[in-house]
Amino acid sequence: MKICRLNKKQTNRFLMETKRAYIIIFIAISIISLVTKCASALTIDTNSFVSNQILSCPTDNSITIRIVPKKVLQIYYEYGTTSYTYTNQTSIVTSSPNVPVKVDVFNLLPNTRYYYRIRYKDPIEQQFTIGEQCKFMTQRAKGSNYVVTLHGDSHLYDKKGVASMMRVTMNNITSDNPDFDMEMGDTFGDDRNPPAITQEQMMALHLNYLPYIGMVGHSSPFFFTLGNHEGESGYWLLQTPPNNIAVWGTLARKYYYSLPEPGGFYSGNNTSEVYGIGLPQNYYAWEWGDALFVVLDVYRYCTASETPGLWDWTLGAQQYNWFKQTLENSNAKYKFVFGHHVRGYGRGGDTLVKYFEWGGYENNGTAWGFTARRPGWAAPVHQLMVQNHVQVFFQGHDHLFATEQRDGLIYQEIGMPSDSTYEIGWLANSDAYKGVNKFSGTGHIRLSIGPDLARVDYISAYEPYDTNSTHHNRAVIYSYTISPNTFVNEEGNELPESYRLEQNYPNPFNPSTKIRYEIPSAGYVKLTVYDALGHEIKILEDEKKSAGIYEEMFDASEYPSGIYFCRLHSGEFSKTIRMILLK
């Protein structure tokens, strides 16, 4: 063995290189641990709490924080607008074992990132334990860039979903850093075995889900769209009340989770229900940045029977009128609507859209049934959304990813977050989706919203042992972009500089469409619709109007499919557009 003795110069160089190597290793370890910490879930003191705290109902100046302690604890939250600098704190609350603690935080600034953390202790202890820092946003200002996430049909309760797979997706959602997360239903599974299930079991189903929602909900508020398997249907509400799955399900959901109630910030269901339910928090809407978000309940007002007829599925007059008003009153650049599935019954998105309350036609697809079946209602749900420039209807229920479009409105079906076979929905329901943009797999939807463009990404999830050269966790499987509506309402301050008649929207249309025009100075206006032969069939406007931007609706329910023309005449200006009615 040859032994080399180093001279002083060599020794110094060796020491310097060793020191440098140690520094590099130290930095590398620090970076790795930091990355690991960022990517890993928030740790939770499982001796003290059922799950991480869950945020809900964020507004421009408040937010709700809920946590379920396992024992008697004194709890408060400290918060502020700078990371790890907490300038405010909530009052100390003393908890009871397994009873949710709900804390409302008020007087916040709008469009502001807040940092917060829990502090808690046994009443006999001196020192408060400090939880990990979490964060949230108050209502975004118009013009903001932000992300929201969507997932649904986790089905952990009936074992279609797998807990470890669900955790992969929830970690992926956390990595997207969404302002809030929308759970699309079939979550709690209350409608299993309805005559035999007990209220205690229903409570347990809701309690059991807290740890999964808590993985995301500590920093991204929880919103929820009721699924058919929540069991909160109108039919069940009427069966031997209050001892039925719908009453118990609503009570359990409200006991553990908060959803919006109408007030200054949210609109929604303001009808209080009996049996201790109060406001059911089942449909609601709010604006965030440049977008309107509307959550529908397609089940609670269907009371006919356990297996309703096709016209029995309904939003109900009250929810419908609120929905119409909400869409019409909003000038948001983006309008997104969420419902567990189209009209509450059937498989598919676009496949179902044409019929019954959603599209107006009878089962044969040619007879118009809406006017007689829904007297006094303005338009079927689909047409209402099209007329009001809704860009996407997000739905779950069919457990695959599919993007379809009708009349310019996208129907976006969302797959499961928890399917470790990656093909439950694909095998069962892909036939109900006719388009080419449909995918098997597991994951979530990321909706990135900005003032000039919004983007929808389908993000994959793979269990670590299923990840390989083609199956990447957190890969973007499919994307598309959505342009903002550039609609300016009649009450807007902007005055047009010239005459203008825009192409009707939507086009083709069925049975109604909007026609927008602008006049730069006061004058007599005539807006006339002609058929293909040039016969005048409808006068939409015929009066003197002041300068401004106007919009008229053309309802062609009584006319056959074909080409129509609309002419605007005002002063010296005259222009005609071509419209296609496709029934």
- Looking at residue 558, the DSSP 8-state letter turns out to be T
The Cα–Cα gap between 138 and 114 comes to 8
227 vs 359, beta carbon nearer Fe ion: 227
Residue 242's contacts (CB-CB under 8 Å, 6 or more residues apart) are 248, 274, 275, 276
List the one residue out of 55, 100, 58 whose CA is nearest residue 251: 100
188 vs 323, beta carbon nearer Fe ion: 188
186 vs 552, beta carbon nearer Fe ion: 186
The single residue among 179, 181, 186, 518 that binds Fe ion, judged by CB under 5 A, is 186
64 vs 228, beta carbon nearer Fe ion: 228
Q: Are 208 and 200 in contact (CB under 8 A)?
A: no
Q: Smallest gap, in angstroms, from Cβ of residue 19 to Fe ion?
A: 59
Q: Smallest gap, in angstroms, from Cβ of residue 192 to Fe ion?
A: 12
Angle 120-212-464 (CA atoms, 0-180°, nearest 5)?
120
User: Does 413 interact with Fe ion (rule: CB under 5 A)?
Assistant: no
Query: Binding segment for Fe ion among 20-28, 101-109, 146-154, 457-465 (CB under 5 A)?
Result: 146-154
Residue 253's contacts (CB-CB under 8 Å, 6 or more residues apart) are 188, 206, 224, 230, 232, 259, 281
User: Does 218 interact with Fe ion (rule: CB under 5 A)?
Assistant: no
Q: Smallest gap, in angstroms, from Cβ of residue 341 to Fe ion?
A: 6
Query: Binding segment for Fe ion among 95-103, 151-159, 402-410, 543-551 (CB under 5 A)?
Result: 151-159
51 vs 228, beta carbon nearer Fe ion: 228
Secondary structure E strands in 95-246: 101-105, 113-121, 129-130, 134-137, 146-151, 180-183, 222-224
Write the burial class of residue 483 (CB in 10 Å: 0-12 exposed, 13-18 middle, 19+ buried): exposed
Q: In sequence order, what DSSP letters do the residues of 465-487 get, joined into one string?
A: GG--SS--TT-EEEEEEEPPP--
User: Does 346 interact with Fe ion (rule: CB under 5 A)?
Assistant: no
Angle 104-74-81 (CA atoms, 0-180°, nearest 5)?
45
The Cα–Cα gap between 84 and 82 comes to 6
149 vs 228, beta carbon nearer Fe ion: 228
Q: In sequence order, what DSSP letters do the residues of 211-240 get, joined into one string?
A: HHHHHHHTTS-EEE---GGG---HHHHTSS
The single residue among 153, 183, 419, 518 that binds Fe ion, judged by CB under 5 A, is 153
Query: Binding segment for Fe ion among 153-161, 198-206, 216-224, 321-329 (CB under 5 A)?
Result: 153-161
Q: Smallest gap, in angstroms, from Cβ of residue 98 to Fe ion?
A: 28
Q: Smallest gap, in angstroms, from Cβ of residue 324 to Fe ion?
A: 25
Query: Binding segment for Fe ion among 193-201, 224-232, 266-274, 460-468 (CB under 5 A)?
Result: 224-232
Query: Binding segment for Fe ion among 42-50, 127-135, 227-235, 319-327 (CB under 5 A)?
Result: 227-235
The single residue among 397, 438, 514, 583 that binds Fe ion, judged by CB under 5 A, is 397
154 vs 513, beta carbon nearer Fe ion: 154
341 vs 406, beta carbon nearer Fe ion: 341
User: Does 227 interact with Fe ion (rule: CB under 5 A)?
Assistant: yes
Structure tokens at 209: 């889900």
140 vs 399, beta carbon nearer Fe ion: 399
User: Does 442 interact with Fe ion (rule: CB under 5 A)?
Assistant: no
- Looking at residue 555, the DSSP 8-state letter turns out to be E
Query: Binding segment for Fe ion among 204-212, 215-223, 225-233, 516-524 (CB under 5 A)?
Result: 225-233
Site string for Fe ion, 61-90 (x = CB under 5 A): ------------------------------
Q: Smallest gap, in angstroms, from Cβ of residue 249 to Fe ion?
A: 14
Query: Binding segment for Fe ion among 152-160, 162-170, 195-203, 326-334 (CB under 5 A)?
Result: 152-160
Q: Smallest gap, in angstroms, from Cβ of residue 275 to Fe ion?
A: 25
Residue nearest to Fe ion (CB): 186
Q: Are 501 and 526 in contact (CB under 8 A)?
A: no
The Cα–Cα gap between 77 and 131 comes to 9
| Beta carbons within 10 angstroms of residue 74's beta carbon | 17
Q: Smallest gap, in angstroms, from Cβ of residue 157 to Fe ion?
A: 11
Total binding residues for Fe ion by CB under 5 A?
A: 5
List the one residue out of 359, 367, 291, 295 whose CA is nearest residue 331: 291
Assess whether the previous peptide bond of 511 is cis (omega < 30° from 0): yes
The single residue among 174, 228, 267, 418 that binds Fe ion, judged by CB under 5 A, is 228
Q: What φ, ψ does residue 124 adopt, rounded to 5°?
A: -85, -10
Q: Which residues bind Fe ion (CB under 5 A)?
A: 153, 186, 227-228, 397
